[in-house]
Amino acid sequence: MSKLENDISFLKGVGPARADQFRMELGIRTWEDLLMHYPFRYVDKSQVQKVRDVKSDAVAVQLQGTIVRLTEVGEARAKRLVGIFQDETGTMELVWFKGARWLKSSLPLNKPCLVYGKPTEFKGKFNIAHPEVEEIESSRMAAGVGLKPVYSTTEKMSNRGLNSNVIGKLTLQLCEEVRHEIPEVLPQELIQQYKLISRAEALVQLHAPANAEKLEQARRRLKFEELFFLQLQVLQTKLAGTVEQRGVVFEKVGELFNSFYKKHLPFELTGAQKRVVKEIRTDVMKGFHMNRLVQGDVGSGKTIVALMAILLAIDNGYQACLMAPTEILANQHYEGISQLLEPLGVRVELLTGSVKKKSRAPLMEDLKSGELKFIIGTHALIEPVVEFANLGLVVIDEQHRFGVAQRAALWKKAALPPHILVMTATPIPRTLAMTVYGDLDVSIIDELPPGRKPVNTQWHTDAYRLMLFEFIRQEIALGRQVYVVYPMIEESEKMDYKDLFDGYESMSRAFPSPQYFISIVHGRMKAEDRDFEMKQFIEKKTQIMVATTVIEVGVNVPNASVMVIESAERFGLSQLHQLRGRVGRGADQSYCVLMTGHKLSDDTKLRMETMVRTTDGFEIAEVDLRLRGPGDLAGTAQSGVLQLRIADMVKDQQMMAAARNIANEWLTEDPNLSSESSKPIREELFRLKKKKSDWSGIS
């Protein structure tokens, strides 16, 4: 047994109490776990200031001197510990509001020490709250190391003295103890080819960097290792999926597909659309189960691509269904697609929650008998009562509303799993998509139909309101229509509804009938009423649509040219982009107006500026990812794939792509990892899997 598997309590300086804390608070059980508890940042302690030179705008200062007095002040909950620190240029107060008793006995008194923290000015004097204090003899600082690692701890741990400093010391000591026992997990070939440092060296440098350059090498090596093994696992899963998962075969390109393509396309397909149709065709003929994600910005024309895949299915005698996340969207797809299918004589039906029982029954029967080949619907389609004769293709529009479990429910509706085509307008970078969605192949429609003008986007505050109203009048006078959208965080929130109704009222005053007509749509309305209002707008009987985000997805009114977004600061970037995608669908110049308050955070400003600067969905997705991290991405929360220790899904995309290629090459050469040079990889993968299953056994 390697020392690395030792229980954490066997480490010098860690008794049973600390071992408990490590385990309960951070999940650290073994020596190795501690070694893998990477610092989350470093502070540069190469500089030491003097008390006299401390300025109020300093982010942090490091001082060298002595604590000459420590006093507990105040009673009970207001109790705090005050220390007087001094160097040869002056004195300064240090204050601790927590753990006073323990600290008082453990802080170095009258001994040379280093103090580090953020100074605050109070009545003309500086103090530092909760500074880090280190005695100089025991400190690595004495050796002149400038970069000091900072470890995450919990409040509970810090209060009991197991703070970042202490963890640092324990880890350093551990590194000394095990540095010759850290196994290499990458083949020498890769290490040489990509000029990586060894794993042992990297871990030691990560915890105790000799300098910035060494630290960078360590980080590069460990990031690569992490991404390489991540990609290996993703690729292996994918490989296993394609080998084992047989799927239905759409052998021929038949009459329907051909006749539609040659005679009934309402427009010439873009190059990107053609490419994706081809990718799908190749997939479905292979005999393996297709699991493909089509990413395409709003308005890039995903529907027609899906429809062509559906025709392929029907041509081959299979049934197909298209699922939309909302009833409005399902309706719109139904109407649009019915029109397109009319000349082909293909029957299509609609199944949503509001389809009456009486008309449901025959639909179900026809699906079960195979008489009906194509159905469009909402979640209603995945209810167990809906049975298909031979479902061959499922198209899911706007995937982020459908979970993995729902996808799986559809599989059960056929003997062989039907091909799955997921369409999303929330693009994420390709490598990231391939990693996050693991088993999915990714197609990208990266070209908009010709003649689209980018939406002119502006960002204003209330001062602009009168001009905004004037502008809306002008657009309406030109025959255009206008959306005004209000945020609705929870459909039940009272405040949000007040904003919406107030907004509706003020619009009604500014745009009175009979000259103007306004529709209103929100989630609390009955489906019939909502559809009625939508229809009024679609048929141009109203010029203005006041709405919540229920109109976010998919709604298509090409005549609408203005999208006003109220309280835009409350929307996420991808949501703003989705909303903006509701306009700019016709040939006219369109506008998006973002209305915000004055006091905005930096993040919010960046969101607004990004919207104004670009209409490119991928670029927006990148910024969004940087702002929010990948945690919110569809399905990532559960996937666990993204719990990376050191690499960053967003910032390290290039390395991720490289790691993927390298992993792919390696697997192509040695698919079973059975060669001698694959041995370290094989062993590490085994360990990773074991660890994962140990964990899943626990939770």
Check: CB of residue 249 under 8 Å from CB of residue 284.
yes
- Walk across the sheet containing 319-323 and list its strands: 349-351, 374-377, 319-323, 391-397, 419-424, 291-296, 441-445
What lies within 8 Å, CB to CB, of 83 at 6+ separation is 67, 69, 70, 71, 93, 94, 95, 96, 107
Shortest reach from residue 397's CB to ligand ADP, in Å: 7
Check: CB of residue 444 under 8 Å from CB of residue 618.
no
Q: How many CB atoms lie within 10 A of CB 490?
A: 9
Q: Report the amino acid identity of residue 149.
A: P
Task: Tell me: does residue 299 bind ligand ADP (CB under 6 A).
Answer: yes
Pick the closer one to ligand ADP by CB: 233 or 300. 300
Pick the closer one to ligand ADP by CB: 333 or 607. 333
Shortest reach from residue 376's CB to ligand ADP, in Å: 14
Shortest reach from residue 299's CB to Mg ion, in Å: 8
Pick the closer one to ligand ADP by CB: 268 or 683. 268
Pick the closer one to ligand ADP by CB: 302 or 419. 302
What lies within 8 Å, CB to CB, of 362 at 6+ separation is none
Nearest to 138 by CA among 163, 173, 178: 173
Contact positions with ligand ADP (CB under 6 A) in 366-425? 425
Shortest reach from residue 665's CB to Mg ion, in Å: 37
What lies within 8 Å, CB to CB, of 8 at 6+ separation is 14, 19, 22, 23, 28, 29, 30, 31, 33, 34
Shortest reach from residue 303's CB to ligand ADP, in Å: 3
What is the spatial distance between Cα 674 and Cα 682, in angstroms, rounded to a whole number? 8
Nearest to 279 by CA among 309, 251, 302: 309
Shortest reach from residue 504's CB to Mg ion, in Å: 27
Q: Count the residues of the shown chain that bind ligand ADP, applying the rule CB under 6 A.
A: 17
**Which of Mg ion, ligand ADP, none does 99 bind, CB closer than 5 to 8 A by kind?**
none
**Which of ligand ADP, Mg ion, none does 468 bind, CB closer than 5 to 8 A by kind?**
none
- Choose which of 62, 127, 233, 273 interacts with ligand ADP (CB under 6 A): 273
**Which of ligand ADP, Mg ion, none does 556 bind, CB closer than 5 to 8 A by kind?**
ligand ADP
**Which of Mg ion, ligand ADP, none does 83 bind, CB closer than 5 to 8 A by kind?**
none
Task: Tell me: does residue 556 bind ligand ADP (CB under 6 A).
Answer: yes
Element (H, E) at 65: strand 61-73
What is the spatial distance between Cα 128 and Cα 118, in angstroms, rounded to a whole number? 6
- Choose which of 149, 301, 418, 427 interacts with ligand ADP (CB under 6 A): 301
What is the spatial distance between Cα 349 and Cα 371, in angstroms, rounded to a whole number? 12
Radius of gyration in angstroms for the set of CA atoms belonging to the chain, rounded to a whole number: 31
Q: Report the amino acid identity of residue 58.
A: A
**Which of ligand ADP, Mg ion, none does 313 bind, CB closer than 5 to 8 A by kind?**
none
Contact positions with ligand ADP (CB under 6 A) in 570-609? 585
Sign, Cα dihedral of 8, 10, 15, 16: positive
Shortest reach from residue 465's CB to ligand ADP, in Å: 30
Shortest reach from residue 302's CB to Mg ion, in Å: 5
| Residue number, nearest CB to ligand ADP | 301
Pick the closer one to ligand ADP by CB: 238 or 585. 585
Task: Tell me: does residue 303 bind ligand ADP (CB under 6 A).
Answer: yes
Shortest reach from residue 449's CB to ligand ADP, in Å: 3
**Which of ligand ADP, Mg ion, none does 267 bind, CB closer than 5 to 8 A by kind?**
ligand ADP
What string marks each residue from 74 to 113 as x (binds ligand ADP by CB under 6 A) or -? ----------------------------------------
Check: CB of residue 499 under 8 Å from CB of residue 541.
no
Phi-psi category of residue 13: left, alpha or beta, with phi > 0 → left and psi -120 to 50 → alpha: left
**Which of Mg ion, ligand ADP, none does 21 bind, CB closer than 5 to 8 A by kind?**
none
Pick the closer one to ligand ADP by CB: 80 or 274. 274
What string marks each residue from 433 to 452 as x (binds ligand ADP by CB under 6 A) or -? ----------------x---
Pick the closer one to ligand ADP by CB: 126 or 402. 402
What is the spatial distance between Cα 415 and Cα 411, in angstroms, rounded to a whole number? 8
Q: Report the amino acid identity of residue 618.
A: F
Check: CB of residue 241 under 8 Å from CB of residue 420.
no
Residues that bind Mg ion (CB under 5 A): 554
Nearest to 402 by CA among 296, 329, 315: 329
Which window, 119-127, 264-272, 464-472, 649-657, contacts ligand ADP (CB under 6 A)?
Answer: 264-272
Pick the closer one to Mg ion by CB: 304 or 576. 304
Q: Which residues bind ligand ADP (CB under 6 A)?
A: 267-270, 273, 296, 298-304, 425, 449, 556, 585
